[in-house]
């Protein structure tokens, strides 16, 4: 690394930054994408590696908020645009940039860092753990049938509240959808605030047929928009125009009736044979609405957001817990020496924790900081990690106790595709 210069970029270097990012991912940025970078890139949160004046590696971070257990929304650092040119791989540039960012976020007082990984084997070495997961689903609409939910002999109540689904224009969607999502994000652990540029990417160009025409629909009840969907209609086989599918880009609902109504709408779109989704929660409730659940097929399952605890003590204090008790963790952190050691988590009856250094105390479980990052949002069980040797129980049954304290009622998820 000694021959490379490492520093934040200046405004006149954004084009070189964009070229590095695009080249590393085998693409080219459009002028609109470069303009978006010029508006939103926080220069003093960027870092780039230069070789003889050429920008050969880069990354950046943004300050945002994330929903953690207990519905608290602390500030976190979101890492994005991590790239190294193909000509400069395996020279330690990525490690140097990640080290820079960890120190920078620590100096800013951010206790947690989050990122999305293009490859699964990269970021554990820097203390990140896969903390949430997503599934892609597919429905053969010709075979799928939804239940008619009504008052049954057992007394189950119908979701028959008046309301309707409306198609709207992109300009209306850009105004209404962020307000719906703003109310939704505190209800789901793992959700992040969404920058304006990501809304533009999600809503796309409704007139472009390159990936299929894009449509926007909302569920309205009593004059209030309670949920929305963004979807495309496109051929499954480019050689057969009429073999088409509905491609769900995003669905967000604030009520059960909005959720069910929007799914019914998508599955009822004529002249389409399939419905395919992007990454959705692994606990998607709509599967239980199908007469035959096998028609709601999981076609892939993978990691979503990766979490890194920058300040273990503060991060553990910022979330709430499901069970009262005391747990002592022995944390190994090779990159952030201030995290290395033992921490006592004392949780009261309201789920609020007092976290303190306890280097002289007997520990209950020992683990690395990347395992703790994976478990932080409550979606990855300590007991399962213990079964494969990634958590060491120093006291019998403590991994199960940690699960009872950490794991919530629903797995974490993040809707936004950064």
DSSP 93-108: HHHHHHHHHHHHHHHT
Distances in whole angstroms, Cα of residue 147 to Cα of each of 186, 207, 260, 271, 299: 30, 35, 11, 22, 23
- Residue (of 255, 192, 217, 247) closest to 417 by Cα position: 192
Indicate the DSSP class of residue 209.
Answer: -
Which helix H or strand E contains 200, and what residues bound it?
Answer: helix 196-203
Q: Give the C-alpha separation, 37 to 390, whole Å.
A: 39
Strand partners, 306: 115, 130
Q: Which residues participate in catalysis according to the annotation? A: 123, 418
Are 229 and 262 in contact, with CB atoms under 8 Å apart?
yes
| β-strands 5-7, 112-116 pairing | unpaired
Residues contacting 269, CB < 8 A, separation 6+: 233, 246
Distance CA 388, CA 391 (A): 8
- The dihedral region occupied by 384, where left means phi > 0, alpha psi between -120 and 50, and beta the remainder, is alpha
Task: Tokens for 247, please give them.
Answer: 């491609």
């Amino acid at each position: 690394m000694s021959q490379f210069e490492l520093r934040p970029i200046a405004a006149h270097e954004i084009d070189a930054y964009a070229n590095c990012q695009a080249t590393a991912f085998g693409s080219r940025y459009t002028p609109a994408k470069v303009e978006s970078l010029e508006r939103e890139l926080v220069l003093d949160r960027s870092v780039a590696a230069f070789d003889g004046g050429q920008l050969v590696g880069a990354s950046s971070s943004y300050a945002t908020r994330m929903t953690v257990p207990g519905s608290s929304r602390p500030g976190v650092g979101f890492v994005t645009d991590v790239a190294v040119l193909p000509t400069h791989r395996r020279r330690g540039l990525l490690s140097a940039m990640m080290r820079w960012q960890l120190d920078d976020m620590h100096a800013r007082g951010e206790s947690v860092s989050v990122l999305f990984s293009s490859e699964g084997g990269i970021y554990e070495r820097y203390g990140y753990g896969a903390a949430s997961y997503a599934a892609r689903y597919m429905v053969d609409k010709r075979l799928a049938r939804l239940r008619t939910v009504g008052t049954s002999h057992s007394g189950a109540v119908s979701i028959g509240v008046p309301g309707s689904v409306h198609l709207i224009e992109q300009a209306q969607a850009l105004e209404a959808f962020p307000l719906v999502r703003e109310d939704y994000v505190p209800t789901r652990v793992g959700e992040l605030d969404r920058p304006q540029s990501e809304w533009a990417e999600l809503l796309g160009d409704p007139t472009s047929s390159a990936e299929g025409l894009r449509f926007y629909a909302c569920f309205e009840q009593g004059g209030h928009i309670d949920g929305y969907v963004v979807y495309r209609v496109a051929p499954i086989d480019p050689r057969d125009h009429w073999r088409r599918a509905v491609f769900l880009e995003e669905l967000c609902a604030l009520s059960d009736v909005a959720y069910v109504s929007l799914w019914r709408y998508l599955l009822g779109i004529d002249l389409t044979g399939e419905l395919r989704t992007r990454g959705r929660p692994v606990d998607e409730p709509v599967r239980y609405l199908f007469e035959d659940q096998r028609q709601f097929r999981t076609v892939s399952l993978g990691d979503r957001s990766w979490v890194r605890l920058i300040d273990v003590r503060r991060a553990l204090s910022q979330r709430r817990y499901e069970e009262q008790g005391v747990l002592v963790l022995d944390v190994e952190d090779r990159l952030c020496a201030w995290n290395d050691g033992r921490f006592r988590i004392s949780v009261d009856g309201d789920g609020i924790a007092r976290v303190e250094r306890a280097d002289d105390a007997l520990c209950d479980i020992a683990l690395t900081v990347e395992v703790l990052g994976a478990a932080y949002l409550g979606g990855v069980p300590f007991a399962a990690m213990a079964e494969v040797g990634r958590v060491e129980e120093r006291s019998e049954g403590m991994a199960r106790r940690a699960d009872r304290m950490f794991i919530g009622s629903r797995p974490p998820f993040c809707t936004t595709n950064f």
